[in-house]
Amino acid sequence: MGILQILIILAVVVLLVKPLGTYVYHVFSNEPNRTDRIFGPFERFFYKLVGLKDRSGMTWKKYALGFLLTNVVLAAVGYAILRLQSYLPINPNGTDNMEPTLSFNTVTSFMTNTNLQHYSGESGLSYFSQMAVIMMMMFTSAATGFSVAIAFVRGLTSKGRTVGNFFEDFVKAHTRIFIPAAVLVTMLLAALQVPQTLDPRLTVTTLEGAVQHIAIGPVASLESIKHLGTNGGGFFAANSAHPFENPSPLTNVVEMMSMWLLPASLPYAYGLFAKNRKQGWVVFGAMLTLFVAFLATVYFSELRGNPAVSALGIDASQGSMEGKEVRFGIPQSALFTAVTTAATTGTVNNMHDTLTPLGGMVPLAQMMLNVVFGGKGAGLINMLMYAILGVFLCGLMVGRTPEFLGRKIEAREMKLIATAILVHPFIILAPSAISFLTSLGQGAISNPGPHGLSQVLYEYTSSAANNGSGFEGLADNTPFWNIMTGMVMLLGRYISMIAMLAVAGSLVRKRTVPETIGTFRTDNTLFYGILIGTVLIIGALTFLPSIVLGPIAEYLKLG
């Protein structure tokens, strides 16, 4: 029954990839289409309002500076609101101002689409902060990622000097994708008993006579964009394990679909941009294969249970239910874990700290690879980066000038790609080492041995991959962890995006080489295998030692 549930959800995702990918293509292809009649007037009004007269294409550098500048402004506004929230309106619970290093961490976290939370939403933020900072950035960070991915695809598939207009893409991502989808999902979740109110927290008297405060608020609206934007920051500290955020298996499916469908549809949209749908299916197929392998690992590992618990004589026939919600069980918990770390959302419906060692390795590995669907745009960008690397390596092996989509891959593109690939492990492993070597870092580790190593590794991997889920168990709300993870999130987000936009800017100016019989094809089964192989080899070369010292050592110790 568990496997059947998973298969049905997988089948629905695969079926929806084509219509959604086609819609995304129509939104960003700038070709006239039916959606213009519906959304065009809103967009023109908005362009007029902000004085956006010039919507011509931008060079990659102008595009990169456009999204960086937008993010700087949003970060400044967000920081000011968090530091002054007690003086601002819509604060019925009297929440105090947020501490400076925690404000820095929160702002960088939500601006970079990471949504790592070192605070409890229900007690650390006013309703105004939840809406004006958290929810607002959930929209803008997702739209930024989506826009950059589309610009990257335009760079690979079009000719000229420009990769599109950032501000136009940014507005369209809001008006045609995230806002309509968020309204729909909010209404659906509210209908399924998720609270949506501005009333203060409820105060009730229990049967024993004690007074209890029950936090409520605009939960449904936050939940919708939290998943649609692959954000992940929950209204409550327990995130999607909380019964108000995710009350039933049905809401669990709605939340998984919300975070999964848009990233899954992007490879198909890429195929349409490339005028070769097979290209898109090859990328999608590689992502799905890796996903299924990881999902199977976490599902069967959790189903097998924890041998240490069984050794105590406790019945573990239901599998490892520690840290999981009974209403979801193993299948919907394992699937949620795989989806949230594949789509780099970071929302959790079970505690990843209490996953079995091999089960816990899965979210860690998916975030380390950061190509299995990925967050808004990041997964596609990274997978195409590996595709170009794969083409380059194959070119070296057969002594042929590598080409991707008819463009020659040269030293300049490989320099940028190598930088992007190396930065990711560096910003995970170097801060992890610093944390182990300093008392400020060591003080937060609550478990000795391999599990403690996994906790630290997970925190930085989640930050670098802009995922945001926590392994939990780490006492991370300290200035040291707030600042360290804040910097990792910023570098993890912007360095690879800028490098890949530069690759797009370089490729868009190149002459296309006509296809010949000797051209190395990138839309067939062989390339699908090469793509998966490249991802796994690079991932193993960079992260295998740390994985062996963490989850694998823990697994071997359990026996």
| Non-local CB neighbours of 171 within 8 Å, separated by 6+ positions | 43, 46, 47, 52
| Per-residue binding letters, 480-519, with other proteins (x by CB under 8 A) | ---x--xx--xx--xx--xx-xx--xx--xxx--------
The Cα 392–Cα 408 span in angstroms is 10
| Per-residue binding letters, 112-151, with other proteins (x by CB under 8 A) | ----------------------------------------
Please report whether residue 83 would count as binding other proteins according to CB under 8 A: yes
Please identify, among the stretches 133-141, 247-255, 406-414, 438-446, the one whose residues bind other proteins according to the rule CB under 8 A.
406-414
The Cα 465–Cα 491 span in angstroms is 10
| Dihedral (CA of 313, 317, 322, 326) sign | negative
Please identify, among the stretches 68-76, 163-171, 286-294, 537-545, the one whose residues bind other proteins according to the rule CB under 8 A.
68-76
Instruction: Give φ, ψ of 205 to 5 degrees.
Output: -105, 125
For 177, 420, 463, 504, the CA distances from 499, given in Å and listed in that order, are: 26, 6, 19, 9
Residues 273-312 that bind other proteins (CB under 8 A): none
- Select 339 or 490, whichever has its Cβ closest to other proteins: 490
Helices 479-507, 60-83: inter-axial angle, 10-degree rounding: 160
- Select 62 or 201, whichever has its Cβ closest to other proteins: 62
- Select 52 or 65, whichever has its Cβ closest to other proteins: 65
| Per-residue binding letters, 6-45, with other proteins (x by CB under 8 A) | ----------------------------------------
Q: Work out the angle at residue 347's Cα, subtended by the Cα atoms of residues 345 and 349, and round it to the nearest 5 degrees.
A: 140
Please report whether residue 434 would count as binding other proteins according to CB under 8 A: no
Please report whether residue 100 would count as binding other proteins according to CB under 8 A: yes
Please report whether residue 72 would count as binding other proteins according to CB under 8 A: yes
Please report whether residue 68 would count as binding other proteins according to CB under 8 A: yes
Judge whether 168 and 67 are in contact, CB under 8 Å.
Answer: no
Residue 127's DSSP bridge partners are none
* Token representation of residue 338: 């795989």
- Select 423 or 537, whichever has its Cβ closest to other proteins: 423
Q: Which amino acid is at 127?
A: Y
Please report whether residue 77 would count as binding other proteins according to CB under 8 A: no
Q: How far is the CB of 106 from other proteins (least distance, A)?
A: 11
The Cα 480–Cα 118 span in angstroms is 12
- Select 298 or 502, whichever has its Cβ closest to other proteins: 502
The Cα 499–Cα 424 span in angstroms is 12
Judge whether 237 and 120 are in contact, CB under 8 Å.
Answer: yes
Percent composition of the chain: helix, strand, coil (DSSP 3-state, to 5): 65, 0, 30
Judge whether 286 and 528 are in contact, CB under 8 Å.
Answer: yes
Out of 416, 444, 453, 464, the only residue in the binding site for other proteins (CB under 8 A) is: 416
Out of 411, 448, 514, 559, the only residue in the binding site for other proteins (CB under 8 A) is: 411
- Select 304 or 415, whichever has its Cβ closest to other proteins: 415
Q: How far is the CB of 427 from other proteins (least distance, A)?
A: 12
Q: Which amino acid is at 448?
A: P
Judge whether 366 and 294 are in contact, CB under 8 Å.
Answer: yes
- Select 277 or 510, whichever has its Cβ closest to other proteins: 510
Q: How far is the CB of 539 from other proteins (least distance, A)?
A: 24
Please report whether residue 101 would count as binding other proteins according to CB under 8 A: yes
Could you tell me how many residues of this chain bind other proteins (CB under 8 A)? 40
Please report whether residue 103 would count as binding other proteins according to CB under 8 A: yes
Residues 149-168 that bind other proteins (CB under 8 A): 159
For 241, 330, 547, the CA distances from 453, given in Å and listed in that order, are: 25, 25, 9
Give residue for tokens 């070597």: 437
**Contacts with other proteins, residue ranges (CB under 8 A):** 60-61, 64-65, 68, 71-72, 75-76, 79, 83, 100-101, 103-104, 107-108, 159, 408, 410-412, 415-416, 483, 486-487, 490-491, 494-495, 498-499, 501-502, 505-506, 509-511
